[in-house]
Structure 1
Amino acid sequence: MTDAPKDAPIGLNRGLTNYGDTDFARYLRLSMARSMGLSSSLLKKPVIGIAATFSEFNNCHRGVPDLVEAVKRGVLAAGGLPREFPTISLGEPFLNPTALVFRNLMAMDTEEMVRGQPMDAVVLVGGCDKTVPAQLMGAVSADVPAIQVVTGPMSTGRWRGERLGACTDCRRFWGKFRAGEIDAETVEEIEGNLATTAGTCAVMGTASTMASLAEALGMMLPGTAAIPAVHADRIRAAEASGAAAMMLAAKDIRPSQIVTEKSVENALRVLLAIGGSTNAIIHLTAIAGRAGIKIDLNRLNTLSDETPVLVDLKPTGPFYMEDLHAAGGIGAVLRELRPMLHLDVMTVSGQTLGERLDAEPGYVDRAVVRAREEPLQPQGGLVALFGSLAPRGAILKRAAADPSLFEKEGRAVVFSSLEDLAARIDDPDLDVQPEDFMVLQNAGPLSQSGMPEAGYLPIPGKLARAGVKDMVRISDARMSGTAYGTIVLHVAPDAASGGPLGLVRNGDRIRLSVKERRIDLLVAEDELERRRETQPDTSAKAKRGYARLYREQVLQADEGCDLAFLRADPEG
């Protein structure tokens, strides 16, 4: 990597609007820029774009304006001109049918605004679950020097002497409510104490996982993934990122030089070691796909067998993201994994990963980040399953599951849709036993529901009241990174595209073997063929707009649920 050519256009001279007269285009642009009160000296500086995602429909992003101001300070101090611009913002609980459907739209927005506007580098400011992957997908495709800044996790609250944080605790208390252990008044009281500060979920959910992976990929400054949203260091990290963007522009260090096969594998190692969200497999696959890199689920299994779980955060442990920050952050995890990592990969700090890890490690709290020789679990938190029920794969978060259910055969109790699930799950006459396998169909990427976080099927009311805490649950849906249980997700191909999941009927036998990495439907092929002949079309239909584009182009979970035409090789 070398400095950009001296004669290359910089700042507002980049990408002039085409009027058929280059000099007129420059003259007109500068005159319009002067109308914003900018001095002539500033107009000659390198331009750093700031993709801002504040929205009053996104609670995670309440602190974005403060972060943007800090980025601007960093850019100005480093001799550049910061220019803030808005993009789509995705607030996970505020979108219908689900935020995943709009991730690709936000990625398109980010890509085109970065490419289409005159900037020498861009700082991506986001946080909520689908926002960070969307920004990274867009940045990789645009391939302009880029750096990620995240909003940071919430701080925990207190309730009746107990420490609470969204959203693992919200699921725990909702389960107690469904089981009749607490009443509606108590649930409402808890509701007001789960999310009490700005920032993303306080646990190792999808937002925190993606922040961690952005740092592991090298797209975020070292040590910044886990800083709490309300901590002063979060503001300082944003300022430093503005200055770093100026360095990236000067050296022309682009995402294509950072997001490589080696750095993607490093990120997968970190994902496994932190017991991260299952959603991250989909997002990292989509990000890698923008760089022409394929994530092989068989390779994931190999890495998982080699990589221990080192981080003891909820939903699988007792700690929160603020504890990980105080314990040494993702840097502490990377140092433990060092012998397993590719150390020659470049990062947005201008250093290789190896150079970063050569620095003094500092304090590490071993209650939160274990030593590699004394892991929480000897193998990684995620595993891919294959078999007649999931020919292209499925995902199980074994770190959050009950090992007693890993080698099991059970009877299928089938729900044909989310509506069917909602209508029957608490029916006292539902024919279901604790040893059964609950199966949800038509919740994948091609379904009407657009692959929501519905894979965390609730324990049927009558079983919950009887004390049942976990069952095998199978679907083509996703689940929140804050959830837990023996849950098989992302079954591909999905039911709506004609996958075998859609052929399961009540009473069928299914076999799960985590040891053998298999999930099989124990039904004869001739019977399945008869079912295929009468199987209704359950795929989503849309006449116009983005919904139609999405339905026509969306890929399966094993390909990251990106839109086919947005990948590095659209025909591949």
Structure 2
Amino acid sequence: MAATRDINSDGKVFETFNQEVVVKKPKSNLVFDDKDFPISLVRRCIFQGTGIDIEEAKQKPIIAIANSQTEINPGHMHLDTIAQRVREGVHAAGGLPFEFSVPAPCDGLAEGHEGMRFVLAQRDLIADIIETHVRSMVYDGIVFIASCDKIVPGMLMAAARLDLPAIFITGGPNAFGIRFKSSFKGAIDRQSYDDLADRLATATAATCGACELMGTANTMQCVTEALGLSLPRSANVPAYHSEKLLFARMAGKRIVEMVEEELTTDKIVTPKAIENAVMVDLAIGGSTNSTLHLPALAHEIGFDLPLKVFNDFNKRIPTLCAISPNGPYGITDLYMAGGVPGVMRRLAEDLHLDALSVTGKTIGEIITESPILNDKIIPDKANAHMPEGGTVVLTGNLAPEGAVVKQSAVARDMLVFSGKALVFESEYDCLKAIRERSIQEGKVVVIRNEGPKGGPGMAETLAVTLGLELAAFKRVALITDGRFSGATAGPCIGHVSPEAYVGGPIAAVRDGDEIFIDIPARKLELKLSDDEITSRLRGWKPVKREIPPGFMRRYVKLVSSAARGAVL
């Protein structure tokens, strides 16, 4: 049949055959392909059971909406409203949206108990759930909706696996009811804690949205935009702001256009894009957990991102922004100052400006159009909060594969420190010592058997870091093969690799051993000879914890080192 070409009201060219618009539907055309008769009738019958007009569906791309809305997590409780606006956008652009649910763990609710061992593992489960579901269905494109720590990176990993157009709309930051300190929102001193003990819930989460500091949730939302996977300036819009709903509708419209343009994720998530994300992470003083999630994302596209890359970029990327826990500002301040595009504009000479975004424009084109509205919040390099990036990697005989620390949140007089080890075999043993006040100034607290395999699950030790902070220690460092909350401040060194469970040197540490920390020199040393460490490890046996039947038993067998992103 002869085709006719025309231009619709949006200026897009389309072809018609017998007056029917031909729409690019690379996956969902399978439903209507009669070459598979009679099984095609089965697929069509199932589709009709959803209440969809088949003739309409033939002409429209099928758009998945992966929504991680949940009622138990304030960071995700509002995502149903965002999803509704995404659906409106998809319909307006001529697509058919179909929403499915994704789990959304809250790190805060899992803190300090066995539930935390199951949180990081859900990142990879979320990626697997989305990948397997989407591959089994007939979607032409996908919109990801998420806010918090493990859900955003899990969705990023899934997006990288799928050969589909994909766009993210992230949930945005919440609002704190109060500030813990007038000058430093990210810390809690004993006096303010005692005064506010009955109001902590209000203090930490007065509204829906991700905790309004540069913790893991907001770090990963910024990283998503830096990767080019969300609309410019959308990441930092507060969860409760009307502009978030506008961005959601725009994302719904844009995904339909991306299907028509065949703008798939593999054209956006490239090694250049991931390096851009690392640089932005360092500039905003992002969570140490990004050293798990960005290598994991790189792994999905076959790109090796060793921890040393963070140090390499640190040589030229400063911590531009003094955002809590690195300084006095919050995520809303960043939003009002120009958001992620503003930060990227300050880094223009370092970034890969030819990297592509979901807009179809390059990063270079986007930042040229993006103003910086507050030079104090987003300063230039000459006036940066710190001359180096926020997260650094330490190595030495205690961490041959590396360990990470957020140097931007460490007091200047603790950047170099030496002390005697006080060793705990678990987070709970350390919490007991904090309660009993048996930790003294000048110690290096060592918590081991909390890595990906040993935990299992690499628990976040926020309960310990808060306990030490509330005890008002000035000269105590913390080292662990576990990990920390993105909100952690102080000389807290995590992700020590290899972990104790596999016989890493941290397993050889004994009470009283001297440990030397030199963050500027990127050194973490146990003051023992290699022969002594080897001798101690000869008689070492891993601490094996009881693991409930189910997924975690498989996880222990499959999970890699934290230095490789703790991927499966």
Q: Does 1:513 align with 2:518?
A: yes
Q: 8 Å contact 1:455–1:489 — kept in the other structure? A: no
Q: 8 Å contact 2:204–2:211 — kept in the other structure? A: no
Q: Please, which of 146, 155, 158 is the counterpart of residue 166 of structure 2?
A: 146
- Which whole-Å CA distance do the structure 1 matches of 2:141 and 2:555 have between them? 29
SS in 1 for 2:121: helix
Shift of 1:251: 1.7
What pairs with 1:109-508 in structure 2 (closer than 5 Å)? 109-158=129-178, 172-173=187-188, 175-176=189-190, 183=194, 186-359=196-369, 361-428=370-437, 430=438, 432-454=439-461, 457-458=464-465, 467-469=472-474, 471-508=476-513
Q: Which moved more, 1:533-542 or 1:138-147?
A: 533-542
Code of the aligned partner of 1:23: F
Q: 8 Å contact 2:444–2:478 — kept in the other structure? A: yes
Q: Does 1:87 align with 2:102?
A: yes
- Which whole-Å CA distance do the structure 1 matches of 2:77 and 2:403 have between them? 35
Determine the structure 2 residue equivalent to 1:108: 128
Shift of 1:141: 1.2
Give the superposed CA RMSD: 2.6
Shift of 1:296: 2.1
Shift of 1:533: 2.4
SS in 1 for 2:355: coil
TM-score normalised to structure 1 length: 0.89
TM-score normalised to structure 2 length: 0.90
Q: Which moved more, 1:139-148 or 1:92-101?
A: 92-101
Q: 8 Å contact 1:473–1:488 — kept in the other structure? A: yes
Determine the structure 2 residue equivalent to 1:557: 562
Unaligned stretches of 5+ in structure 1? 564-572
- Which whole-Å CA distance do the structure 1 matches of 2:95 and 2:420 have between them? 64
Code of the aligned partner of 2:314: S
Q: 8 Å contact 2:419–2:442 — kept in the other structure? A: yes
Q: Please, which of 526, 532, 537 is the counterpart of residue 527 of structure 1?
A: 532
Cα distance change of structure 1 residues 232 and 182 upon mapping to structure 2, 3 Å threshold: closer
Determine the structure 2 residue equivalent to 1:569: none
Q: Deviations over 1:454-505 (max 9, x none)?
A: 16734877x965x434522111111111110011110001111211111100
- Which whole-Å CA distance do the structure 2 matches of 1:482 and 1:392 have between them? 24
Paired residue total: 544
Determine the structure 2 residue equivalent to 1:97: 116
SS in 1 for 2:552: helix
Shift of 1:544: 4.5
Shift of 1:539: 4.3
Q: 8 Å contact 2:167–2:230 — kept in the other structure? A: yes
- Which whole-Å CA distance do the structure 2 matches of 1:26 and 1:544 have between them? 41
- Which whole-Å CA distance do the structure 2 matches of 1:259 and 1:159 have between them? 37
Shift of 1:153: 0.6
Code of the aligned partner of 2:54: S
Q: 8 Å contact 1:443–1:454 — kept in the other structure? A: no
SS in 2 for 1:106: helix
SS in 2 for 1:383: strand
Shift of 1:105: 0.8
- Which whole-Å CA distance do the structure 2 matches of 1:192 and 1:357 have between them? 36
Cα distance change of structure 1 residues 7 and 244 upon mapping to structure 2, 3 Å threshold: closer
Q: Does 1:31 align with 2:36?
A: no
Q: Please, which of 4, 8, 12 is the counterpart of residue 28 of structure 2?
A: 12
- Which whole-Å CA distance do the structure 2 matches of 1:47 and 1:302 have between them? 43
Shift of 1:59: 2.0
Q: 8 Å contact 2:152–2:221 — kept in the other structure? A: yes
Q: 8 Å contact 1:226–1:321 — kept in the other structure? A: yes
- Which whole-Å CA distance do the structure 2 matches of 1:386 and 1:530 have between them? 21
- Which whole-Å CA distance do the structure 1 matches of 2:558 and 2:326 have between them? 35
Unaligned stretches of 5+ in structure 2? 1-12, 16-21
Cα distance change of structure 1 residues 48 and 163 upon mapping to structure 2, 3 Å threshold: farther
